[in-house]
Structure 1
């Protein structure tokens, strides 16, 4: 991709505001890099603790035309890694964010052309600041189109009086198994909608947050979604009928891969991770045969019981396949993980356990044959980009609808439903790696990989959309 020359004295200047979580920050940072490469100036706003982690684990933040600013998040400045929960971060930002954000915006040398705001960062007063300073807002949903539409449909159900549910009977399987008509999506059940909406309380904060976030989509002129047209064509058509100026810009890493090494040095830094990535993971994979390893990672936010973790462990061991297993230090109920000694001993025979890794490098390693995932969108689109089929165990947010689509529409996944049981894990891992369905899924995943590569080539849909987005922002700067 060639950088778009900008000769105007007034350079376009985009302020990026991600939700303070690993996957959101990573996704928005990649788009910021793409727009910076097109000639736009970038100010990227992180919470203080997240930015320290990004610099510590991702590399230098000194890049011409690309600056970082930080807002306080209430985390003690003692050199430790952030341990606050998402709820604690949200609670702090609700109270303190607006004044700090206004201070950053008014203190910038070059006035912002626009704010690209994470679709879930509107609750802290972002629009109040933008309206006060007359800065247009573009919403960026770091989700699939199906994830966005699932959240947006929660607003529709709320306005129809269906949400919150009348009583707890509506939370039983008999009701939540019901198919729900969403334009552009078939075979979606009520239970596939975001887990945050399943409440009987009118004052439920999660439901209010989702509904208000969706309502903001109705008032902006432009939106961005991290997907590609070929993957979700019917749904994107429906979304564009509601929101005509919608840009699909994924998979972003494939777009970044088109930037040459020389150009990359001018417009980026070394990584996007808030956590330390362990290179030993890739070293271990080097000794394994083609398609022989199961990669296991439940993302940055999922939390499970020690019993579920043990069931996953025995299922993986009993499958008799090699596996690379990422176990975050806070994966089990937010506490340090201690596996039974017997399980630990057998894991060492066929498995490699780490606390974090460079996921895209792992998924693209030839030894990886399948991915056991939570179904977070970042993981799903990275797996599709690498042509790797999946077994999915959704936990929270829009993961259920991602899982439903990968299993029912895209043909690349199988779901672990209900309670986690070792026999089911073993059975699905074996099917994934050696079964007839697994082979079909692998072939389908390779088809989606090729489609993603086409979308991100110079004349592909996503590549052209990034170009259009850069030009739209440039036009704003000239008004």
Structure 2
């Protein structure tokens, strides 16, 4: 029997990237591949502190720390040391850390990247020279057009939403553009570009750049526990509360690990939920709650105690799988979007930054599985959405069968893609075999 394949995994140090990479790592481990996941010391400690008894980590997965995964010299030193101690078969890096493949290339180690957001949103970085060639941006990254449409079948994109452009001013953040340029150049070194998506979600994006291969949706539902990788401790008591609610009755509200809102917007959210007369589960992070008016928050929770539950962090995938969930009021982060679609849950969109606005366009205009607000095509994100508007959108979303029907149809396609013989399954298995050979 040959020596066990060993993949060194380097994620971007943010929640939205770490979780799908952990799910992917578990998938590799199930096929007999040894995994070592590298995080900075602070992230490593956050994960260990958030561990719960329900968390699940395979025996063949190791968590190690490195002073700084953004420093290519430190990463190079780590790769050399680990390769000397235990031969590394492949280095798998987050697409936002693509330059870390350079050390692997020098050592003759196989190289792959994984994109934790949509293929469509990755195209501007992957095809950066084309944007310059076609006059969308100049050589310094400054937009020369207000809107760009990468393909007739891909929604138009406001160039103020391109990652290196500060959306409030339309000015280029030079260091971010240099960061994107560095990623673009390093992508030439990768042998595989994997993406947590599906042909059923973004067929045209994958057609435009066939090197990007979908292996999603990356889910953990086939395991008994929860995939370790959260920065925050999950409140599993909400699952018992959901068990007590009627089928497809609960509004689930969660805006991810980064989105923030002030007291004014909070009160509009709260008003909408009061007006809805429907049960709800609201994830209100502690860092957000601590800046709100304590008296108002307490009063809201007391008034809504009979039909609403507010918690600080949820086991989201298990929540979205629950039969009591009717819809998801979301910031439209890619992980949240994919998890909702994989469970046939309609979405109400409140995008906060960057790709979330573009994901909302897919949700509302392409897949037609949700609704958004009138302001979301504006160049600012400071508009307050009123409680009345939110309540009206919830009524529309839950009062029509078409959104649930479309979401259910898309769920079936996505589940078929990761079953044996499906496109994402085949891409994943091809990658497994490549790593092992």
Q: TM-score range by the shorter chain?
A: 0.7 to 0.9
Among 265, 278, 296, the alignment partner of 1:308 is 265
TM-score (norm 2): 0.87
Any conservation in 1 of the 2:301–2:308 contact (CA below 8 Å)?
A: no
Please give the alpha-carbon distance, in whole angstroms, between the structure 1 residues aligned to 2:237 and 2:253.
Answer: 15
Candidates 95, 101, 106, aligned match of 1:119: 95
Aligned counterparts of 2:285 and 2:138: Cα–Cα separation in 1 = 34
1:184-234 CA deviation, whole Å, 9 max, x = no partner? 743323268445424654552233323432443344231000012222223
Separation in structure 2 between the aligned mates of residue 355 and residue 307 of structure 1, nearest angstrom: 20
Number of matched residues? 421
Contact 1:36–1:66 at 8 Å: present in 2 too? yes
Match of residue 77 from structure 1: none
Contact 1:223 / 1:247 at 8 angstroms: preserved in 2? yes
* Alpha-carbon distance between aligned partners in 2 of 1:365 and 1:140, rounded to the nearest angstrom: 29
Alignment of 1:458-469 (within 5 A): 458-469=420-431
Q: Identify if the C-alpha distance between structure 1 residues 204 and 167 changes in structure 2 by more than 3 Å, giving closer, same or farther.
A: closer
Name 1:110's counterpart in structure 2: 86
Partners of 2:45 and 2:173 lie apart in 1 by: 35
User: Post-superposition shift, 1:121?
Assistant: 1.7
Question: 2:123 is matched with which residue?
Answer: 149
Taking the aligned partners of 1:327 and 1:139, their CA distance within structure 2 comes to 33
The counterpart of 1:189, out of the listed 144, 151, 157, is 157
Residue 88 of structure 1: aligned partner:
none
The CA RMSD measured in Å over matched residues stands at: 2.9
CA 1:269 to 1:292, structure 2 compared with 1: closer, same or farther past 3 Å?
closer
SS at structure 2 position matched to 1:120:
helix
**1:225 — aligned with what?**
195
Given that 2:132 and 2:139 are in contact with CA atoms closer than 8 Å, whether structure 1 keeps it comes out as: no
Asked if the contact 1:167–1:200 (Cα under 8 Å) also holds between the matched residues in 2, the reply is no
Residue of structure 2 equivalent to 1:41: 34
Unaligned runs of 5+ in 2: 376-382
1:236 aligned residue = 206
Question: Are the aligned partners of 1:113 and 1:136 in contact in 2 as well (CA < 8 Å)?
Answer: yes
1:4-403 maps to which residues of 2 (within 5 A)?
A: 7-8=1-2, 10-58=3-51, 63-72=58-67, 94=70, 97-108=71-82, 109-122=85-98, 125-152=99-126, 156-158=130-132, 162-163=136-137, 176=146, 178=147, 180-183=148-151, 185-190=153-158, 193-194=161-162, 196-198=164-166, 201=171, 204-240=174-210, 243=211, 246-253=212-219, 257=222, 271-331=228-288, 336-338=291-293, 341=296, 342-403=299-360
TM-score (norm 1): 0.80
Which position in structure 1 is the counterpart of 2:369? Answer: 412
Q: 1:100 to 1:425 in 2, by over 3 A?
A: same
Greater CA drift, 63-72 or 404-413? 63-72
CA contact (8 A) 1:295 1:368 kept: yes
Structure 2 SS opposite 1:253: coil
Q: Could you say which residue in structure 1 is the equivalent of 2:415? A: 453
CA distance in 1 between counterparts of 2:266 and 2:184 reads 34
Please give the per-residue CA displacement for 1:239-269, whole angstroms capped at 9, x wherever unaligned. 21xx2xx331111216x61x6x6xxxxxx97
